[in-house]
Structure 1
Amino acid sequence: MKKVLVISNMYPSKEHLSYGIFVKNQVEQLRAQGIETILAVNSNPNTGKVNVLKKYASWAGQVYSLFRKNKSCIGITHSHYVFPSGMFSYILKKRYNIPYVVTAHGGDINKMAKKSARIKGYTEKILQHADHIIAVGEELASNIQQDFQIPQERISVMSMGIDRSVFQKPLNKSELATSLSMNTERVNFLFVGNIIQEKGVQELIEAFLKLEEKYPQKAVLYAIGSTKNISFSNQMKELAQQSNNIHFLEPMPQKRLANYFQASDVFVLPSYIEGLGLVALEALACGTPVIASDVGGLHYMLQNGAGVLVPPKSVEALYNKMEQVIQQNGQLQVNEEQIQQLLKLHDSKEIIARLTAIYEKYSD
């Protein structure tokens, strides 16, 4: 098989470890299986109109430069995020007849495509001309099929996969928690995600403050994530100052992040929207039960007792479930059999095998 040109508007760097880390993980897994890839990616997370124009212009130059140098050996392109990444794949197909696969991650369909009629038009064009579409969750796949009139047979539901050699149950949870300076006498709640409103960070902090008011010195909250919105992040940190038990941590390498998943008692993901919620899977792989919003891919992933679902944007509902954890000494009842089935389905080895089959089907 010829090489795969991977195009993504998000990719991590030394300065921004978590920015599109799931794309990097998949690329490394592909390479480990002998699939040669060429990267045309943007690793600059800066926002603001001027910054966006500059970084996308630079990225566009990178895409076309790499394509020209490697044109003869590229058999297929794979874009992560329908727009803007998919535009490059669409153009390369129109000009050079290079087939392409595009992965929809959620925000590109649920947010980006709704920003304007123009972007929705671009999104529709990219999806209509894609040789195959990957949606990271069931609801996302359904939305693509219905909103953009895409035949079901051209869509695969496939997460980015979890590396179970990294995200696995700890040998000794208590020792690991102590090594991370966690108080093992308290319930350690964990959140991992961008510090933005759509992740339900404010509801989580308010629920925790309410919990601490009733159960003082019983729990700790760790929030690990990038500052995407400085103003909102500062507001949240100011709100969190009402407690000495809320800790904000910057993104970290995957193995260390896995340690936090392994050492925590419960993982909480109160998002407003979520294409899949890969971090919830990573928590489950580490043996940590999950409380999450009943939205998007989380609705399907955590059903049948794999996790505990709560309505989005509800401080009260979130508080009630977190209170149950306190009352049950850090325990949360979940369906272990369902979780194991879920982890098997989303194992990165299984995902890479399915993805490779798609490449081989459409590649020149």
Structure 2
Amino acid sequence: MKKVFVISNMYPSKEHLSYGIFVKNQVEQLRAQGIETILAVNTNPNTGKVNVLKKYASWAGQVYSLFRKNKSSIGITHSHYVFPSGMFSYILKKRYGIPYVVTAHGGDINKMAKKSARIKGYTEKILQHADHIIAVGEELASDIQKDFQISKERISVMSMGIDRTVFQEPVNKKDQAASLGMDTSRVNFLFVGNIIQEKGVQELIEAFLKLEEKYPEKAALYTIGSTKNVAFSNQMKELAQKSNHIHFLEPMPQKKLAGYFQAADVFVLPSYIEGLGLVALEALACGTPVIASDVGGLHYMLQNDAGILVPPKNVGALYGELEQVIQQNGQLQVDQEQIQQLLKLHDSKEIIARLTAIYEKYSD
């Protein structure tokens, strides 16, 4: 098989470890299976009109420069995020006949495509000309079919996969917590994600403050994530100062992050929208039960007692589930058999095998 030209508007760097880390993980897993890849990626997360114009101009130059150098060896392009990444794949197909696969991650369909009629038009064009579409969650796939008139046969539902050699259960959860300086006499709740409103960070902090008011010696909250919105992040940190047991940690390498998943008693993801919610799977792989919003891919993932689902934007409902955990001494009643089936389905080895089959089917 010829090389895969991977195009992504998000990819991590030394300065921004978590920025599109799931794309990097998949690329490394492909390479481990002998699939040669060429990367044309944006590693700059800066926002603001001027910054966006500069970084996307630089990225576009990178895409076309790499394509010209490697044109004869490229069999297929794979874009992560329908727009803007998929626009490059669409253009390369129109000009040079290079087939392409595009992965929709959620925000590109649920947010980006709704910003303007022009972007929705680009999104539709990219999806309709793609040789194959990957949606990271069931609801996302359904939205693509319904909103962009794409036949079900052209879409695969496939997460980015979890590396279970990294995300695995600890030998002893309490020992792992102690090694990270956590108070093992408390129930340690964990959130991992960007510190933005759509992740439900404010609802989580408010619910935790309410919990601590009633159970002052019982819990701690750790939040690990990037500051994408400085004003909102500062606002959340100011709100969190009402407690001495809410800790904000910066993004960290995957192996270190896995240690926090292993140490936590419960993982909480109160997002407003989620294409899938890969971090919830990573928590489950580390033996940590999950409370999450009943939205998007999380609805499908955590149904049948694989986790606890709560309505989004609902501090009271979230507080109620956190309190249940305290009353049950840090435990959640979940179906372990269902969780194991879920983890098997999303194991990166299984995902890479399916992805490779798609490449081979459509590659020149």
User: Secondary structure at the residue paired with 1:251?
Assistant: coil
1:127 aligns with 2:127: yes
Match of 1:165 in 2: 165
User: Secondary structure at the residue paired with 2:11?
Assistant: coil
Match of 1:61 in 2: 61
1:354 aligns with 2:358: no
User: Secondary structure at the residue paired with 2:83?
Assistant: coil
Match of 1:291 in 2: 291
CA distance in 2, matches of 1:289, 1:173: 12
| 2:191 partner letter | F
Percent identical pairs in the alignment equals: 90
| 2:126 partner letter | I
Residues 58-207 of structure 1 mapped to structure 2, 5 A cutoff: 58-207=58-207
**Structure 1 position 172, deviation (Å):** 1.5
Residues 78-132 of structure 1 deviation map (CA, whole Å, 9 limit, x = unaligned): 0000000000000000000000000000000000000000000000000000000
User: Secondary structure at the residue paired with 1:75?
Assistant: strand
Match of 2:249 in 1: 249
Residues 157-216 of structure 1 deviation map (CA, whole Å, 9 limit, x = unaligned): 000000000000001211111110001100000000000000000000000000000000
| 1:120 partner letter | K
Match of 2:24 in 1: 24
Residues 230-309 of structure 1 mapped to structure 2, 5 A cutoff: 230-309=230-309
**Structure 1 position 316, deviation (Å):** 0.2
Residues 26-55 of structure 1 deviation map (CA, whole Å, 9 limit, x = unaligned): 000000000000000000000000000000
TM-score normalised to structure 2 length: 1.00
| 1:117 partner letter | A
| 1:150 partner letter | I
| 1:190 partner letter | L
User: Secondary structure at the residue paired with 2:43?
Assistant: coil
Match of 2:225 in 1: 225
Match of 1:49 in 2: 49
| 2:107 partner letter | G
CA distance in 2, matches of 1:208, 1:282: 22
CA distance in 2, matches of 1:48, 1:38: 29
CA distance in 2, matches of 1:169, 1:180: 16
CA RMSD of the aligned region, Å? 0.3
CA distance in 2, matches of 1:95, 1:104: 23
Match of 1:330 in 2: 330
| 1:24 partner letter | K
User: Secondary structure at the residue paired with 1:281?
Assistant: helix
Aligned residue-pair number: 364
Where has structure 1 moved over 4 Å in runs of 4 or more? none
Match of 1:214 in 2: 214
User: Secondary structure at the residue paired with 1:329?
Assistant: coil
| 1:219 partner letter | A
CA distance in 2, matches of 1:78, 1:113: 19
